[in-house]
Structure 1
Amino acid sequence: MTRALSTPPVIASGLLASSPQPVLPATGGLLLRPWVRADAPAFLSAYQDDETRRWHTRRPSTEAQVREWFDAYRRDWEREMGGHWAITRDGVEVLGRVALRGLDFDDGVAGVAYWVLPAARGAGVASRALSALTAWAMDEVGFHRLELDHSTRNHASCRVAAQCGYLLEGTKRSAAVHDDGRHDMHLHARVRGD
């Protein structure tokens, strides 16, 4: 059964699925591109890093599992549920991940997420990738609001959000489980016109 809306959707259904997932340029020679099977070792290595593991409790343990995730990422695009990109240097060297998730075309709202491999940290990779994804999602796709949340203990992620114009809107108390227990989560958002 379809839901009757009193207002038209902000984004038309089919807009994303009608095209291949795009490759998005970012400043500093970065390129955001869909994940490919050959990226599995780099992706898996991120989740073997203590800092990444600290903030991500859902993590793959084998390259075969990573390839299953990549297949799910492709299905997410086809079903207009999300988009997942490898952050690369010139399309080759994997530096991290950026994603658009929880797409709500009716209200024009989505969530964003990212991580960066240890060797690429501190060089502005996450903020350049997030800025490129934000510009594409808002200016080309038409999202009105993008949300980002992170543990209140994750100060690096908070800095990235602020640098990219995602305003801190509040704290979601005891909202996520991490390896060391429940964490409060900061909610940041970027709204069209900010």
Structure 2
Amino acid sequence: MNATVVLKAGATPSAPALVLRPWCEEDVAALTAVYRDPVLRHRTRIRVESEADGVRWVQAQQQGWARGDRFGFAVLEAQPDAAHGQLVGNVVLKGVTSGKPSAEVGYWTAACARGRGVAPRALEVLTGWAFDTFGADGLEHLELLHQVDNTASCRVAQKSRYEFDRTLPATPPSFPRDGHLHIRRADA
């Protein structure tokens, strides 16, 4: 899979356009700053507390692209006067295997972007790309999992047409609370 993939979500009347592109080392400083947010730190298992942590995290994203099983995208708010835009989130397609009918999506948004529709717009673009890119290899549906107390993620799933499927029991330490499983089928 070519890591030069760039995806776009057009502007809306109330929000600038989004650019989704693979993570690169130039993102480390912004990533480290975004991870200072206590809400993000509470909702994600990964810790980015230093620039070295940021470098390792970005390298892990790049390795996923190289293996062809995990495709992480930095979500940037397009800005006409900036070369790269402001980092506002992350979306990822993971668990991709040829012939396997499902894969998982994940996302997070920076504190400055919450409540502005960034996550559903970015997830919609990622979802379309996933089915277009891997549908011929057998991808039939995508799974989105979030903890039951994460009502914002539940709203993102609903806005993005991921149907609630069931509640899954907690699996500590990686998933300490029960979770909601949402599914989006390729034909939805």
Q: Same fold (TM over 0.5)?
A: yes
Q: Does 1:133 align with 2:126?
A: yes
Q: Give identity over the alignment, percent.
A: 35
1:149 to 138, 142, 145: 145
The answer to whether residue 9 in structure 2 is matched with residue 26 in structure 1 is yes
CA apart distance, 1:50: 1.3
The match for 1:158 is 154
| Higher strand residue share | 1
Segments of structure 1 that go 5 or more residues without pairing to the other structure are 1-15
- Secondary structure of residue in 1 paired with 2:95: strand
Report which structure shows greater RCO (CA 8 Å, sep ≥6). 1
Say yes or no: does 1:89 pair with 2:83: no
Corresponding pairs, count: 175
Contact 1:177/1:183 (<8 A) preserved: no
**126 and 176 in structure 1: CA distance in 2 versus 1, 3 angstrom threshold:** farther
**What are the Cα deviations for residues 153-174 of structure 1, in whole angstroms up to 9, with x where unaligned?**
0000000001001011001112
Whichever of the two has the greater Rg, that structure is 1
Please give the alpha-carbon distance, in whole angstroms, between the structure 1 residues aligned to 2:30 and 2:150. 23
* Alignment TM-score, normalising by the size of structure 2: 0.87
1:36-55 equivalences in 2 (<5 Å): 36-55=24-43
State yes or no: 1:189 paired with 2:172. Answer: no
**CA distance, structure 1, for counterparts of residue 20 and residue 3 of structure 2:** 14
Change in 2 beyond 3 A, CA 1:119/1:170: same
Residues 1:169 and 1:21: Cα distance change in structure 2 (over 3 Å): farther
Look up the equivalent residue of 1:101 and give its one-letter code. K
CA distance change for structure 1 residues 107 and 37 in 2, over 3 Å: closer, same or farther? same
Q: Secondary structure at the match of 1:43?
A: helix
* CA–CA separation in structure 1 for the residues paired with 2:152 and 2:9: 20
1:116 corresponds to 2:109 = yes
Q: Cα–Cα, structure 1 residues 30 and 86, in superposed 2: closer, same or farther, change >3 Å?
A: same
- 2:3/2:22 contact within 8 Å kept: no
The C-alpha deviation readout for 1:16-45, integer Å capped at 9, x for no partner, is 2xx334111113210101112121122122
User: Does the 8 A contact of 1:168 with 1:189 survive in 2?
Assistant: yes
- When normalised by structure 1's length, the TM-score is 0.84
RMSD (Å), alpha carbons = 1.6
